[in-house]
Structure 1
Amino acid sequence: MSYMCTLLVRSLRGTDSDIAVSFFCGLQTINNDPLTGLGGLIRSLISHILSVHDFNLGFIDAEYEQQFQQYDVEYLASLFRTLVEQLPRNRVLFYIIDGISFYEKSKDMVEVDAVT
């Protein structure tokens, strides 16, 4: 399945109107990896999307910044949604998450819902 996701991402990145961001959960399973877990997933998606468009970040205040530094998943998901809303309407965003089942443990389900 990961191979198919890779091919899909590559084909989507070859077009001018589409934006494809991806995350491969199975590659981020080491505990000391900064992208481990749902916080790492959403931070990775945010960094990908920030690289494809010039966003207005004026809405980020001190509280947002503090929550981001603590990797609060709900705030990070909120930031991702706000960024997506700023994308031009003529662009299509695809985000491909391979292996989300790595995070579908009972303790993570609330955060999985916030991210997805």
Structure 2
Amino acid sequence: MLSKGGCPKNALSIRDALEALEGRWKLLILFSLSTGNKRFKQISKEVPGITDKTLSKELKNLEGNKLITRNVYDTFPPTVEYSITAHGKSLEKVMDELHYWGLAHRKKIMGK
């Protein structure tokens, strides 16, 4: 049986997860934040190749999906830090498994 979106009903949760994490950068940003709170430039340095515009867009999307929080501190100039939420931390096992799968995949395609 298909849902309204044409996806099998038992696959809706997978589709929802993929939509929340879609793209090239979201998991890398979450991985960066998994080691502690970071400012925008710190994340930018830890995710090589991402533009400031894309990072800003992805941070807003991750915040909208309740995977990270944006904390603004009353300083001059204002300090903004991003942190991973408990909901975002629940992806740690997934990120670990992707890491190990990626290592095995790299070995397989590189022939080592």
TM-score, scaled relative to structure 2? 0.31
Q: Which has the larger radius of gyration?
A: 2
TM-score, scaled relative to structure 1? 0.30
Which structure exhibits the higher relative contact order, with contacts defined as CA atoms closer than 8 Å and separated by 6 or more residues?
Answer: 1
